[in-house]
Amino acid sequence: MTVHPERSPRNSERRARRAIGFTQTGGKSKEGATSKEPLLPPKRDVSVVEVGPRDGLQNEASSIPTSVKIAFVNALSASALPVIEVTSFVNPKAVPQLSDAIEVMTGIQRVKGTRYPVLVPNQRGFDRALEAKADAIALFTSATEAFAQANVGTSIDGTFERFGPVAADARRRGFWVRGYVSVAFGCPYLGPVDISAVVSVAERLLELGCDEVCLADTIGTATQESVTSTVQATRESIPIDQLALHFHDTSGSALANVERALELGVRTFDSAAGGLGGCPFAPGAPGNLATEQLIGRMELLGLRTGTHLDAVKAAVDVVRPFVPRLRRLTA
C-alpha cells in the first residue's frame, strides 16, 4: 500500500507545523508528548480512525444492503486509512442496522497496513467477532452512570464486568484492543461531565490492556475549553500516543476541537467518511466529523495522514445513494 511520497514541507507548511507544536515528523509537541519514541510511523503525523461503517451507519435510519457495506469498507481500504472500524457485534435486536456484522466482516478484503476493529460489548459479541475472524476489537463504556444505564442498561462497573474477560482473552490472542469512553465531554442526561470520572474510566481501560483509549464527544458539545481541560487531565496518566479523540460536528466545532487537541499533543482522531452518523440526541444535526474534512484540514496544516483524500471521496459515493442526508448534500 502506497502512502504519500516523502516530501519536504514548504515554508508555509513548516510555519503551520510549528504553530501546532510539531518539531519533527511524529515528534514531540511543545506542550505534550513525553515519549522519546516517535509517536507514529514515518510518513504519518496524524492517524485517522475511520468509524463510518460502524458508528456512521449505526446511526443512519436507512437500511443499507450488505453488499454496499462491504463495497464501502473496501473502497475505504483503498484510502490507506490506518484503522477502519468495520461493524458492531452488539445485540442485533438493539442495532438492527448492523445485524449483518458477520457477513460484512467476512466479506471485506483486508489490506495490509490497515486495522479492522469491530465493536464488542460482551462475551456473546466477542464470540461472533471470533466467528467472523476479527483480530481487533473496540470496547465501550461511559463517563457517566446515567449514560451507561440508558445506553446499555448497566452501571459503569457493569460494563467492565461484561467486557473485562473479553479484553483479557483478546489480549491473549494478540488482538489490538481499543476502549471508548462515551460522553466524555458532555452527557445528554447530566450536562457537563466530571473530568475526574473521565480520567478514572480511561485509566481502567488502559489497565485492562487497551492499546488505545478514545474519548468520545458523543453529543457534540465539546468546546476548546473542555478539550483543553480534559486532555490535560487525561494525559497525566494515559500516554499521549495511546489517546484518541472522537468528535461530532453537532455544533460545528469539531475541527476547532481537533486543532486544539493537536496543540496538546494528541495525534489520533476519529472521523466518518461523509460525516455519516447524525446524533440521536440532536435530530437533524451533523454527525461524526467527516473524514474528508479532517484529512483536508490536516493537509492544509501540512500534517501528513498517509491517506488518499480522493479515495475517501470515492468511498462516500458508494454509500451516497443509500443515505438520504448525503443525497441532499449533492443536490
Grid coordinates representing 64?
Answer: 443499507
Instruction: Kindly tell me the number of DSSP H helices and DSSP E strands found in the chain.
Output: 13, 8
Q: Which is nearer to Mg ion, 55 or 241 (CB)?
A: 55
Alpha carbon distances (Å) from 315 to 71, 195, 312: 8, 37, 5
Give the span between the Cα atoms of 260 and 147, in whole angstroms: 26
**Which residue's Cβ lies closest to Mg ion?**
55
Q: CB-wise, 20 or 119, nearer to Mg ion?
A: 119
Closest contact distance (angstroms) between CB of 279 and Mg ion is 8
Residues near Mg ion (CB under 5 A): 55, 288
Query: Which whole-number Å values give the CA distances from 267 to 187, 230, 280, 328, in the listed order?
Result: 24, 15, 27, 32
Residue 279 known to be catalytic: yes
What the block records as the C-alpha cell of 133 is 475472524
Backbone phi, then psi, for 232, in 5-degree steps? -60, -40
Which residue, 151 or 288, is less far from Mg ion as judged by CB?
Answer: 288
> In this complex, which beta carbon is closest to Mg ion, that of residue 45 or of residue 55?
55
Closer by beta carbon to Mg ion, 108 or else 245: 245
CA distances from 327 to 185, 276, 321 (A): 31, 12, 6
**Cell triple for residue 86?**
468495520
b/e per residue 109-123 (b: at least 16 CB within 10 A): ebbeebbbbbbbbbe
- Of 187, 210, 214, 279, which one is the catalytic site residue? 279
* Min separation Cβ 288 and Mg ion, Å: 4
Cβ at position 149, least distance to Mg ion in Å: 20
- Cα separation, 90 vs 98, whole angstroms: 8
The catalytic site residues sit at: 279
